[in-house]
Structure 1
Amino acid sequence: MTENHVPPPFSVAAPAEQRIPFVFNSPHSGRDYPAHFLAASRLDAWSIRRSEDTYVDELFASAVPQGAPLLKAHFPRAWLDVNREPYELDPRMFDGELPAYANVRSLRVAGGLGTIARVVSENLEIYDRPIRVEDALARIEGVYKPYHDTLRRLLARTHSDFGFAVLIDCHSMPSTVRTAAGRSRPDFVLGDRFGSSCAPELSTAAAEILAGLGYSVVRNKPYAGGFITEHYGRPGRGLHALQIEINRGLYMNERTLEKLPDFGRLAFDLARFCAALAAIPDAGLHPTAEAAE
């Protein structure tokens, strides 16, 4: 990908007819790295990919033939992170003055993981010099905002057609925590913002389905859901958002980024998961009477 965004920065894989009230989103699996971005980075072509949710869009591709749209980023998270507020920006990164409305004090900015990230995983600095404010704002105007406009339209259309909408925000996580013990993570972490972004029936069903398929599942720790889950999840209005983090060790070699032999099995299990989740009773997923008033 170039700074002119050829190929397009994101796309929607859509079924001929949407048959289920679900929208799937893969905002961090993009792997088209702009040439100018790579030239401005101090990292090599492998190291810069450490924050990438490699292949997550492929793992959830079965949602489309089941009747749900899948929005997927082609741009990399290290270049632009749409799972942040639009203007979570670290002023130390930029040559020029940020707009007054920028959020420069969030915890994510402090950690180097704002809308324009300063680091990738393991605290590796991306840039070898400040970048122009105009370039950062151009990414937000030209890609971030159209991405969220597309996601909003998909959810609004789903809500209108079915009476409610479910957003499944798809991510991956490193297989181990960086501690002396090298502690392993569970197979899946489900994030519902501690019950505020979706009906409990949805997150409970998701956990039970995955456990029934033989996977270990944890809810909200260490990932409770990011900006997308928090921003779009309004269960009282019939808008539900659930974040899914998949342990990368299940499907890829984290050093070489190559798919493991079990990749196909996991993709098959995720197809079963999506079908089972779409079949749960919808009684608790419609807008509440209080929200309708």
Structure 2
Amino acid sequence: MTPSWLTIKQGTAPLLVSIPHTGIDLAGLENRLVSPWLGRRDCDWWIDNLYDFAAGLGATVVHTAISRTVIDVNRDPSGASLYPGQATTGLCPTETFDGDPLYRDGEEPGPSEIDERREKFFAPYHAALRAEIDRLRALHGKIVLYDCHSIRSVLPRLFQGRLPVFNLGTNDGKSADPMLQATVSQIMAETGETFVVNGRFKGGWIT
């Protein structure tokens, strides 16, 4: 059975939309955190609303309601840094993007609890992605997995200045066909808004 926090809307188009960071469910951690608001502040706000048209296009949408504070399903499950040498948050973050502590003293998760969270929340999300990838590939052969994010445009601890409006990450071209990257880049350019391809954010574990 699909967990209540995991939403899967199945479509038949060759597009799978992943929404890993809009969750605000703290899974009972509220009393261990400095504040529930800090536990939710780094949510990718409004992404589920922004992409609510996707299902109508026939896309498949996978979405978790669990906060990235509980476990970040877009991080290496081994706990290895997503951006070595740069400030970032981990698999089970203990601080916010700004560097503020998330947990009260002595309330941080230990290795066994991280393992439990990985099994309970991380594994089902990625199992759902894998199942939908396999299903859609059986229909189309080739598909696009589109991982959706948002972030505050000014975050001095993570990057200098102001982020462009659109940030496309393809792991330096490793995770997308060059023609697809070029097509999306052209669409961004035609909006007249600022954009970058493989800038500060090149994609996380999913990409």
Q: Tell whether the structures are fold-level matches, with TM greater than 0.5.
A: yes
User: Quick one: percent identity of the two aligned structures?
Assistant: 28
Cα deviation for residue 112 of structure 1 reads: 6.1
Structure with greater contact order relative to length (CA < 8 Å, sep ≥ 6) = 2
Residue 117 of structure 1 pairs with residue 93 of structure 2: yes
| Pairwise CA RMSD | 2.2
Cα deviation for residue 124 of structure 1 reads: 1.2
In structure 2, what is the Cα distance between the partners aligned to 1:119 and 1:108? Answer: 17
Cα deviation for residue 106 of structure 1 reads: 6.8
Q: What's the counterpart of residue 28 of structure 1?
A: 21
In structure 1, what is the Cα distance between the partners aligned to 2:49 and 2:162? Answer: 24
Q: What are the superposed Cα offsets for residues 235-285 of structure 1, whole Å, 9 maximum, x if unpaired?
A: xxxxxxxxxxxxxxxxxxxxxxxxxxxxxxxxxxxxxxxxxxxxxxxxxxx
Q: What's the counterpart of residue 186 of structure 2?
A: 208
Q: What are the superposed Cα offsets for residues 162-218 of structure 1, whole Å, 9 maximum, x if unpaired?
A: 010100000002112428xx7322111100111111101111111211222332210
How do 1:32-181 residues align onto structure 2 when only pairs under 5 Å count? 32-35=25-28, 37-42=29-34, 44-88=35-79, 103=80, 111=87, 113-128=89-104, 129=106, 130-178=108-156
Cα deviation for residue 85 of structure 1 reads: 1.7
- In our comparison, the structure showing a higher alpha carbon Rg is 1
Q: What's the counterpart of residue 260 of structure 1?
A: none
More strand by percentage: 1
Structure 1 segments (4+ residues) deviating >4 Å: 105-112
Aligned residues: 201
The aligned amino acid for 1:133 is P
Would the aligned equivalents of 2:9 and 2:55 in 1 still touch at CA under 8 Å?
yes
- Structure 2 unpaired stretches of 5+: none
In structure 2, what is the Cα distance between the partners aligned to 1:54 and 1:108? Answer: 26
Cα deviation for residue 111 of structure 1 reads: 4.5
Look up the SS of the partner of 1:85 in the other structure: coil
Q: What's the counterpart of residue 7 of structure 2?
A: 11
TM-score normalized with structure 2 length: 0.88
- Structure 1 unpaired stretches of 5+: 1-6, 89-102, 230-293
